[in-house]
Chain A
Amino acid sequence: MTPALTLAVGLLTSVGVYLVLARKVFSVILGLSLLAHAANLLMLGAGEPGERAPIVIEGVERHLLADPVPQAFVLTAIVISMAVTLYLLAAFAEGARVLDTEEIVRASASDTESNRESVRIELSGQGREEV
């Protein structure tokens, strides 16, 4: 399994990093999902390779079973990365609405100040009338 996993991890990381460095938040979220895949595969590959799924069956040599520990880690990691993606998506949708852009904002001093101001207005629910 190692060659396939090595290739997959390399490719996923590569494209993931490329997207994470993008200016569009949407691309960044996609990239983070890819990086999560890569990390999961990496963790899985770090375990002892086996020849069968880690389920005890009468008459099967135990040492043939794949290492269950990384699998358990990866399983929860998948669910958690889903939760993270969900949160990012919500923040993305909300942020795009508040800041009226879906690009990562370049934080020059004056920009940050005005953005902060607009977020503050949004959060406090004031200034709605003008919108």
Chain B
Amino acid sequence: MTDWSAVWASVLVAAPALAGIAILLGRMVPKQAMAWAVGASALSLTSAAWLLLQGPRGVSTLWSWAPGLYLEVSWRLEIATLALALLVAGIGLLVIQYSGSYFGTSREMGRTIALLAAFESAMLGLTLADNLLLLYVFWELTAACSFFLISGGGPKDEVGLRAASQAFLVTVAGGLSMLIAMLYLIAQTQTASLASLLSLDLEPTTQTVALALLLPAVLTKSAQVPTHFWLPGAMTAPTPVSAYLHSATMVKAGIILLLYFFPLLGGSPLWAWVLLPVGAATCVWGSLRALVQSDIKLLMAWSTVSQLGLITLTIGLGTDIAIRAAILHLFAHAVFKAGLFMIVGGVDHAAHTRSLLELGGLRRRTPLLALAAAVLAGSMAGIPPLAGFLSKELILKKAMLGELWVHALAVGAIVLGSVGTVAYSSRFFFEVFTGRARSKKADKAKRLYAGLLLAPLMLATITVLAGPAAPWLDRWFLEPVAFSIVGAPLEVKPLSLWYGVNAALLLSVAIVSVGYVIDRWLGLRFLGTRTTRWWHGAELFDSWMRQAQKLGDHVVEVLSGASPRVYMAIAAACGLLPGLALAPALAEVEWRSLQPAGAIAVAVLVTLLVFLLAARRPLPRVLILTAIGFAVAMLFRLAHGPDLMLTQLLVEVLVTFFFALALLALPASSRSSIHARERPGRWLRGTLAVAAGLAAASCMAALAAVEKGNHVANFIREVVPPIAQGDNLVNVVLTDVRAVDTLMETLVVVLGALGLVGLLKGRERADRGRVDGDSGIAVPMTGGLLPGLAKAILPIGALFALTMLVKGHNDPGGGFVAGLSLGVTAMIGLVAFGPIWLERRLRTSLSGLAILGCGLILFTAGLGPLTGRPFLTQLHGELSIAGLSLPLHTTLLFDIGVMLAVAGAVGAAGLALWTTADREHEGEQR
């Protein structure tokens, strides 16, 4: 059963991003790009509206990817989430429409529009996601998109890049803390669904820990003091981007998260203790800084900081009705701030300046823009009957309730902040639009396109209508949204413009008057005459980043800069500590149970290792290494692993051969000096080595002592053989039970060999001019007996490989052993008859053979899906010819693939090394 609302919600979220991708891939011209982006945003908007009309649907899951790992794509379709999605999509639509006129036909427009659309998707996902991990993904996606939006000028734009990096690093650092919070909540409650989390009652400690982890994310994202500095910095972005990021979206993400988690974590004392002071500080500080800006865009940025502080402060009050007020102000602020940023963009377009020192009198040139500005700035200042008045009034009323310190702090901060807000709003409006023009630029301001006016005017209309419509707004919008956030019906008076004369109203009047007086009569004009720098936070941050980089360089220098040996030693030492902690397990080993065969194997091993350490010349050391491999094979046999023994023996033969070839391929100058005699550091190395050996032995002893209730082994021993129709369980595991592993590992072997061939071939190409074509020796390197013997050995080797392959499923053997045997056979042929013989005999390149083998494995793997079974399902059948029934398994096909891959890889590597060694000798002879 497909859940259609889930599909619908996914379309809602994905549409803008898909349009963005289409714009980038299609390299669309601006008009076309606009059409796509506006269309997609409109689709999201109507979807959100339609889903909202359907009423709350709870959680709908689109895709349960890995429910056991809490990985699901699921949406929470509640009134509140959909209303926020509506806001995001609505402002998104207006901003994209506005960008069309703002950028005109400039070239970077397609990119900006595409990024804005992608950002919109991330934000929509953030509002709707139910799964906590999905929520986190969207959270970080907004940060990633904003990075590219803010650094609009590309890598050459240093200022933009710096601002973008700061915004990104600050918010992502917070985001990491949020990820930990999410994981903590999942670990504590065993659920990753936000909806089910909200229905739980958490322990107070859990609440506080989760909140403490969540708060850094919230506070950085919503630009609260002291991490607010990234927001004014981000003003280097084009104005439409700011209009979107800093009104309805990026900075609201933190607020939205707070609202979502309020029912779950609001009970923690930390809630008020952190949010109230931080919100208050941000509210006041942002407001004060906004007062002294002369760039109107920076003024808006600081105003945003202040307003975010106000909302955070209100949420910090922590009562249901305060949440309601915060929600109202969130919407009101999104609407007026988006509009105001657009007006800033319009002013910039008309007068080509954003400085208050140069603007003035724009009312005459752009009356409609001035009208919209009056309404929206009025709403920001909280003038009745605009939307901003409604919300600020509500906030003031709620702040007067509660404990004394809360009361004093909240009201004090709100009053201070709001006085400032009135003052800078008034300053913005009057100095830009009224009076005389203070420069020629302002005097010669152009008229604006309708495209730049449409969105601000629409937002202004909404702002105006909200006041008189307050009772309806309350009943149809605010009440349901607040109910769906808080999860309980609210006992409040309905929202209204007029509650009668009360303390809040009187305060409001006082705030507006004082603010206006401060601006108009006390002459704020002179405050901002010097260009103000942002608070030093940005510079402090930069210097920290530089310090961090230096520290990183230093660590790298210590760990690996000096010599690989140093970090090898460090790695070994790090491995030691946990290993040595297991040392007591060594005492538990029943040393008496050491059997004679095992004792002999160990004795042989010890002898060989001593020889290896004593030997100086390379060839003897290689031969000793081979002998050690044989001893290990013996241990494998004693541990009841015949397949392992076979594999190990064949591998040892090959490795010896390759070592010899590599030594031959060394330049003559190195060959004489390769003898190992290293005195320096012997004692340190020796100590580390002994300790490492002890640690490894302890691990072995501890592992062996673990009680094994081995379900997997039992399953494979009891259940699997009849199904897989094989008796050699190791081969059954390799070709059937864990065939995916085998597939990957075969690929690794082939890739290793191809890498080697590539490494040496590159050199061959460089050498070609020198050696001139006559590659390899037609005359075998070893004359005499070998070619004659080889003629007998080769067929036997091939036959052996074939036997191993066919028998492998029921007896020791299998694809790997067969492939290695073929490899050994080929190498004997190579030594006896030379490389030309090998290539001619095979009539195909060995690398090709290896790739063919991989192809065969993949083909076998694909048979399952082709017949409607899972990937890599092995099929079993019987073939009856004339009364004889032959069992047929696709595992055989799989093993043939493994054999070809391994044989091809070994052969190709051997040939390449041989050719290199050969050339080295020729070079010497000349």
Instruction: Write the residues of chain A forming the contact surface with B, with a CB cutoff of 8 angstroms.
Output: 1-18, 20-24, 26-27, 30, 33-34, 37-38, 40-42, 44-57, 62-63, 65-69, 71-76, 78-80, 82-87, 89-94, 96-97, 100-102, 104, 106-108, 122-123, 125, 128
B488 at the interface (CB under 8 A from A): no
CB distance from B690 to the nearest CB of A (A): 6
CA distance A106 to B561 in the complex (A): 9
CA distance A122 to B759 in the complex (A): 12
With contact pairs A6-B704, A68-B730, A94-B759 given, residues A15 and B609 touching in the complex (Cβ less than 8 Å): yes
Given A40-B644, A45-B639, A97-B666, 18 more A-B residue pairs with CB atoms under 8 Å apart are A3-B593, A8-B602, A10-B693, A12-B609, A21-B681, A30-B612, A30-B625, A42-B703, A45-B703, A49-B639, A71-B641, A75-B643, A78-B644, A86-B909, A87-B755, A90-B909, A97-B763, A100-B669
Residues in A neighbouring B606, C-beta threshold 8 A: 11
CA distance A71 to B738 in the complex (A): 12
Query: Among the interface residues B565, B568, B651, B713, which one has the most CB atoms of the partner chain A within 10 A?
Result: B713
| B residues 662-717 in Cβ contact with A at 8 Å | 662, 665-667, 669-670, 673-674, 676, 678, 681, 685-686, 688-690, 692-697, 699-701, 703-704, 706, 708, 710, 712-714, 716-717
B810 at the interface (CB under 8 A from A): yes
B289 at the interface (CB under 8 A from A): no
CB distance from A56 to the nearest CB of B (A): 4
CA distance A41 to B633 in the complex (A): 10
A75:B734 contact, CB within 8 angstroms: yes
B3 at the interface (CB under 8 A from A): no
| B residues 15-62 in Cβ contact with A at 8 Å | none
CA distance A65 to B715 in the complex (A): 12
CB distance from A23 to the nearest CB of B (A): 6
- Residue of B568, B569, B641, B697 touching A53 (CB-CB under 8 A): B641
B733 at the interface (CB under 8 A from A): yes
B670:A101 contact, CB within 8 angstroms: yes
Partner-binding segment picked from B334-342, B423-431, B653-661: B653-661
- Residue of B659, B697, B708, B729 touching A55 (CB-CB under 8 A): B729
| B residues 224-258 in Cβ contact with A at 8 Å | none
Residues in B neighbouring A71, C-beta threshold 8 A: 641, 643-644, 730, 733
Instruction: Write the residues of chain B forming the contact surface with A, with a CB cutoff of 8 angstroms.
Output: 561-565, 568-569, 572, 586, 589-591, 593-595, 598-599, 601-602, 605-606, 609, 612-613, 618, 621, 625, 628-629, 632, 635-636, 638-644, 647-648, 651, 654-655, 658-659, 661-662, 665-667, 669-670, 673-674, 676, 678, 681, 685-686, 688-690, 692-697, 699-701, 703-704, 706, 708, 710, 712-714, 716-718, 721, 727-730, 732-734, 738, 741-742, 745, 748-749, 752-753, 755-756, 759-760, 762-763, 765-766, 769-770, 810-812, 816, 820, 902, 905, 909, 912-913, 916
The 12 sampled A-B contact pairs (Cβ below 8 Å) are: A5-B639, A6-B701, A17-B572, A21-B569, A56-B729, A65-B717, A71-B641, A86-B909, A90-B756, A91-B759, A96-B666, A128-B770
CA distance A123 to B703 in the complex (A): 47
- Residue of A5, A53, A74, A90 touching B640 (CB-CB under 8 A): A53
A55:B598 contact, CB within 8 angstroms: no
- The closest CB in chain A to the CB of B814 belongs to A75
- Residue of B613, B628, B769, B909 touching A18 (CB-CB under 8 A): B613
Query: Among the interface residues A26, A79, A123, which one has the most CB atoms of the partner chain B within 10 A?
Result: A79
B696:A13 contact, CB within 8 angstroms: yes
CB distance from B673 to the nearest CB of A (A): 7
Residues in A neighbouring B714, C-beta threshold 8 A: 63
Query: Among the interface residues B590, B598, B621, which one has the most CB atoms of the partner chain A within 10 A?
Result: B598
- Residue of A45, A50, A128 touching B766 (CB-CB under 8 A): A128
Query: Among the interface residues A40, A86, A125, which one has the most CB atoms of the partner chain B within 10 A?
Result: A86
CA distance A71 to B640 in the complex (A): 9
CA distance A63 to B648 in the complex (A): 26
With contact pairs A14-B693, A55-B729 given, residues A4 and B613 touching in the complex (Cβ less than 8 Å): no
CB distance from A43 to the nearest CB of B (A): 9
CA distance A94 to B612 in the complex (A): 25
B765:A125 contact, CB within 8 angstroms: yes
- The closest CB in chain A to the CB of B560 belongs to A107
Query: Among the interface residues A21, A87, A107, A108, which one has the most CB atoms of the partner chain B within 10 A?
Result: A21
CB distance from B877 to the nearest CB of A (A): 21
A54:B640 contact, CB within 8 angstroms: yes
With contact pairs A69-B713, A82-B655 given, residues A104 and B565 touching in the complex (Cβ less than 8 Å): yes
- Residue of A37, A69, A86 touching B752 (CB-CB under 8 A): A86
With contact pairs A78-B648, A90-B759 given, residues A53 and B812 touching in the complex (Cβ less than 8 Å): yes
CB distance from A36 to the nearest CB of B (A): 10
Query: Among the interface residues A2, A37, A52, A100, which one has the most CB atoms of the partner chain B within 10 A?
Result: A2
With contact pairs A21-B688, A90-B913 given, residues A15 and B612 touching in the complex (Cβ less than 8 Å): yes
B745:A7 contact, CB within 8 angstroms: no
CB distance from A73 to the nearest CB of B (A): 8
CA distance A79 to B648 in the complex (A): 8
Residues in B neighbouring A107, C-beta threshold 8 A: 561-564
A85:B593 contact, CB within 8 angstroms: no
Residues in B neighbouring A108, C-beta threshold 8 A: 562
B766:A125 contact, CB within 8 angstroms: yes
CB distance from A71 to the nearest CB of B (A): 5
- Residue of B674, B700, B717, B741 touching A45 (CB-CB under 8 A): B700
CA distance A85 to B749 in the complex (A): 11
CB distance from A52 to the nearest CB of B (A): 6
B697:A10 contact, CB within 8 angstroms: yes
CA distance A14 to B696 in the complex (A): 8
CB distance from B409 to the nearest CB of A (A): 56
CA distance A79 to B744 in the complex (A): 12
- Residue of B568, B591, B689, B810 touching A15 (CB-CB under 8 A): B689
- The closest CB in chain B to the CB of A40 belongs to B632
Residues in B neighbouring A82, C-beta threshold 8 A: 651, 654-655, 749
Residues in A neighbouring B685, C-beta threshold 8 A: 17-18, 21-22
CA distance A73 to B433 in the complex (A): 77
CB distance from A122 to the nearest CB of B (A): 8
CA distance A21 to B769 in the complex (A): 39
B689:A17 contact, CB within 8 angstroms: yes
- Residue of A2, A13, A50 touching B692 (CB-CB under 8 A): A13
Residues in B neighbouring A83, C-beta threshold 8 A: 748-749, 752-753, 905
- The closest CB in chain B to the CB of A54 belongs to B729
CB distance from A97 to the nearest CB of B (A): 5
CA distance A23 to B684 in the complex (A): 13
A94:B700 contact, CB within 8 angstroms: no
- The closest CB in chain B to the CB of A85 belongs to B655
A14:B690 contact, CB within 8 angstroms: yes
- Residue of A40, A52, A72, A100 touching B667 (CB-CB under 8 A): A100
A24:B674 contact, CB within 8 angstroms: yes
Residues in A neighbouring B765, C-beta threshold 8 A: 125
B704:A5 contact, CB within 8 angstroms: yes
A55:B635 contact, CB within 8 angstroms: no
B674:A26 contact, CB within 8 angstroms: yes
- The closest CB in chain A to the CB of B675 belongs to A24
CA distance A107 to B752 in the complex (A): 27
CB distance from B144 to the nearest CB of A (A): 33
Q: Which 4 A-B pairs have the closest CB atoms?
A: A14-B693, A10-B697, A4-B598, A83-B752
B639:A26 contact, CB within 8 angstroms: no
